Amino acid sequence: MIRFLKQVIIALIFFSVLGSIIYFTFFKKTEEPLPTPQVSARSLEVLSSQLLKIKNFDYDFIAEIKNPNLDLGAAGVVYELKLFDKDSLLINVRNGSMSFLPGQIRYEIISPIITEKEISRTEFKIINVYWEKLRDFIPRGLFLIKNQEYLPLSLEQDFSRLRATVFNNSNFDFDRVDVSVILFDENDKAIAVNKTDIRTFIKGTDRFFEVKWPDKFEGKVDRIEVNAYTYIFSNNNFIREYGTQEKFQEFY
């Protein structure tokens, strides 16, 4: 009797295991892993673009671009500028990169552009964007522009120039800060551009800069816009303090 009960128990265990194998193999639907959430972002908006002729076969290009996303920064923006002659033949292609804070509108200046033919038409477009979702609030006033002074071309000097001071209003020491200058006429059309950079910009300090235009340009200056930008998406842009790398931002 005991031997018979053992045989029954063994048989029940065997058929239970066999039934489980058959169920999970043929009837149980395997659950697929949930997809990784994708960052949903509105595309960058090219608000305006303009080619400025300096002299024969010498040009500057300016584009005004907006990041419409209020909670997403663009850590890597790759763009392409195509240059065409009067016959719509491609003369040259210029590529570059930039970055955007959430909700930021900024200018990108491509200069100088030297060609062997007259440029008749341009095509500017964004090729790729790498988005970063920011955990922390980014202060808008990282830099303040002060003591702005524009000196037009005169008989005493063979160039016009702009002088100004940039104040590092943040709590961080930056390795590099880029400065762009745009001169507008009374119709709010850009008539000249320039750019420079500031290295080793310590927090709470002022840095003087000057940019020059050696060639005369058409139009009368009615408004001047000076902007300072820095790349906040890499810790390499933050100067070490007390032997450790400063960290500005956390990302998802």
Which pLDDT tens digit goes with each residue over 214-226? 988 989 999 999 9
Query: In this predicted model, what pLDDT tens digit does every residue of 173-206 receive, in sequence order?
Result: 999 999 999 999 999 999 999 999 999 999 999 9
Using CA atoms, how far apart are residues 101 and 132, in angstroms rounded to an integer? 10
175 assigned to some structural domain: yes
pLDDT, tens digit, for every residue of 78-88? 999 999 999 99
What DSSP letter does each residue of 190-242 carry, written as one string?
A: EEEEEEEEEEEE-TT-EEEEEEEE-S--SS---EEEEEEE--TT-GGGB--BT
Residues 89, 25: Cα–Cα separation, whole Å: 63
149 shares its domain with 122:
no
Residue type, 99: S
Residues 67-74 have a mean pLDDT of 93
Domain C-terminal end among 77, 103, 133 = 133
Q: What are 201's two structure tokens? A: 């910009």
Same domain, 193 and 171: yes
Q: Which two tokens stand for residue 218?
A: 């058409």
Global pTM value: 0.79
The rounded radius of gyration (Å) of the Cα atoms in the chain is: 30
76 in any annotated domain:
yes
For the chain, the domain total comes to 2
Clarify whether residues 165 and 123 are in a common domain: no
